A and B are shown apart, each in its own frame.
Chain A
Amino acid sequence: MDNKHIIGVFDEEDALMEAVHEVKEKGFRIGEIYSPYPLHEAIEAMGKTSRFAFVAFLYGFAGAAAVLAFMYYTAVIDWPVNYGGKPTNAFPSFIVVTIIITILTVTILSLLTFSVRAKIYPGKAYILPDARSTDDKFVVIFDKSLLNGKQTELEDILKQKGAVEVYEKELKPEN
């Protein structure tokens, strides 16, 4: 399959974002943006939304409820023990454990959710259009088959907005 992409490389975040907004206005479809650090503006510009925060909240809520229920069951219902005359339902002392387990639940389940949704797993072959995006460059790629012959127009815009390099490359999974 032909997997040719146009790749624009930028030195600066601002230049990249200007170019992204410009090509979006001209009706080009952005394939993907690679950057050394997370760019919220880029995620917004690509029209991506996320329900991740809400899912994380649900995990936390469920985790807290589950651990409280577990402690109540073990300490009050199943095996009540008298510790120095304290009530078996020692709620204030449950809170510390609840906080810790809640954090652990959110962390682990979020990691798993993210891996499933992004289809990432250890040892997966990856596609990296330009390795310099892991260093100090900002990279935006466009699928060549969707350009309908407007390739020169796109390349002109990218160069005009300050791309240090624009080139064509066939993307292949690497290991």
Chain B
Amino acid sequence: MDTKITIPKGLTYAALAMIIAGAGVMAYSFATDASRAWANLLLNNYMFLSLAIGASFFIAIQHISQSGWSAMFKRIPEAFMAYIPYAGVIMLLIYFGMHNLYHWTHEEALASDALIQHKSPYLNLPFFFIRMVIFFIIWTVMTQMIRRASLAEDQHGGMLYFEKSELYSKIHIFLLALTFTMASFDWIMSLDVHWFSTIFALKNFVAAFLHGSATIVLVILLLNKRGYFGEMNKSHLLDFSRYIFMLCIVWGYFAFSQFMLIWYGNIPEETEYFAHRWDGGFKMIFYVNFAINWFLPFVFLLPQILNKNKNVVMTIAVLLIAGQWLDLYEQIFPVVVHHPVFGIQEIGFFISFAGLFIFITAKALAAAPLIPHKHPYLEESLHHHVH
């Protein structure tokens, strides 16, 4: 039961092939249309970072609530967290693409625009990157502490590391609330530099939590198909699909709240955000976004006959990953590229980052026994039963 997972050679090679094939497309993309390339880089790096952040929040919630049912699956979110430092390095690269992405970095805009001048004590290049480094240091340190406590528990057992994990998780979610808020303001919201929304960070955080959880479920079900997690039963599956179901409602609530208040208030400085996202062919994406991230998971995970079916839950999880991409596409592309584009560049960037994410996650997953065999709640998790 406490065997280590062996990553098939084929998966490692496939991930590396994805990275290399995508890198070729990236090089081509930067040479032809730099703005589009930077938009793709930001989108994909932020997307896989938010899966890792969502996973770290997932595991922190399990620690804080002292959940028994999820104890045997805790290695999966832990493996996701390994992506955070790599995302940090890639995120620093956008230093070279700041002019393509962020209007507020243009000297002439700063000189003539009162609003950008007003925001410049916060939105300026040095402070932007100082914040970025601080965010990544905090996230890396906190997730490493949680991971180390979990690995130490495997060695020594006992309640000490269980309590430590809980303490670290409490600190982590507190810091995450502050840092992720500012991070999403900095990296995504400042693309529309004149616009602001106070619910923006919450919406993006819930999106990270939702899609992170969906990806965790997808990986668990894929491993289950390959013969791991033999003790996984219908109750675990039901709890996972309830998790996704609950989070898709929360996502829908926040996304709709942001839209509805802006639509109802109808004042120019707020409405310009959705004006950009409705005109120029983007309107379809607005509706599809709600369909994929809220409506379809809501309808398909509602009846128990469907939400206890592995294939249905797996399909929804895959759909939600596409939904996360689309949600960020709607936030980033209208301001950077100005018209809807989808082609080899978008696919190449996604494949490359997905390959990197798979490679890092698989390595982290193989580094520790798949089942945390000295977790105090492991027995409860193995015999989990709900109705």
Residue positions of A touching B, CB distance < 8 A: 40-41, 44, 53, 57, 84, 86, 90, 92-93, 95-96
Contacts and interface: CB of A to CB of B under 8 A. Distances in A.
Contact of B387 (A40, A57, A90, A93): A40
B342 interface: no
Nearest to A54: B303
Given A86-B266, A92-B260, 12 more contacts: A41-B387, A53-B304, A57-B302, A84-B266, A90-B264, A92-B259, A92-B263, A92-B264, A93-B260, A93-B263, A93-B264, A95-B256
A78 to B, nearest CB: 22
B248 to A, nearest CB: 15
B29 to A, nearest CB: 37
Interface in B251-287: 256, 259-260, 263-264, 266
Interface in B87-136: none
B100 to A, nearest CB: 34
A38 to B, nearest CB: 10
A95 B266 contact: no
A96 B260 contact: yes
The 8 A-B pairs with the shortest beta carbon distances in the complex, nearest first, are A40-B387, A92-B260, A92-B263, A93-B264, A93-B260, A95-B256, A95-B260, A92-B259
Nearest to A86: B266
Interface centre among A44, A53, A90, A92 (most CB of B within 10 A): A92
B146 to A, nearest CB: 33
Chief secondary structure at chain B's binding surface: helix
Interface centre among B259, B260, B304 (most CB of A within 10 A): B260
Contacts of B386: 40
A112 B264 CA distance: 36
B: contact size bracket: 10 to 19
A81 to B, nearest CB: 15
B365 to A, nearest CB: 34
Nearest to B262: A92
A157 B64 CA distance: 42
A44 B386 CA distance: 12
Nearest to A84: B266
Contacts of B263: 92-93
A40 B304 CA distance: 16
Interface in B164-205: none
Contacts of B260: 92-93, 95-96
A15 B264 CA distance: 58
Contacts of A41: 387
Interface string B298-311: 00001010000000
Contacts of B387: 40-41, 44
A57 B299 CA distance: 12
Contacts of A44: 387
Contacts of A93: 260, 263-264
A67 B224 CA distance: 44
Contacts of B259: 92
A40 B387 CA distance: 7
A97 to B, nearest CB: 12
A34 B386 CA distance: 20
B152 to A, nearest CB: 34
Nearest to B387: A40
A91 to B, nearest CB: 10
A53 B259 CA distance: 31
A108 B376 CA distance: 43
B163 to A, nearest CB: 27
A109 B27 CA distance: 62
A40 B266 CA distance: 50
Contacts of A57: 302
20 contacts: A40-B386, A40-B387, A41-B387, A44-B387, A53-B304, A57-B302, A84-B266, A86-B266, A90-B264, A92-B256, A92-B259, A92-B260, A92-B263, A92-B264, A93-B260, A93-B263, A93-B264, A95-B256, A95-B260, A96-B260
Contacts of A86: 266
Contacts of A40: 386-387
Nearest to A96: B260
Nearest to B257: A96
A93 B260 CA distance: 7
Nearest to A40: B387
Contacts of A84: 266
B307 to A, nearest CB: 12
A53 B302 CA distance: 10
A41 B260 CA distance: 43
B207 to A, nearest CB: 20
Nearest to A94: B260
A116 B132 CA distance: 61
A95 B355 CA distance: 40
A156 to B, nearest CB: 29
Interface centre among B263, B302, B386 (most CB of A within 10 A): B263
A72 B183 CA distance: 41
Contacts of B266: 84, 86
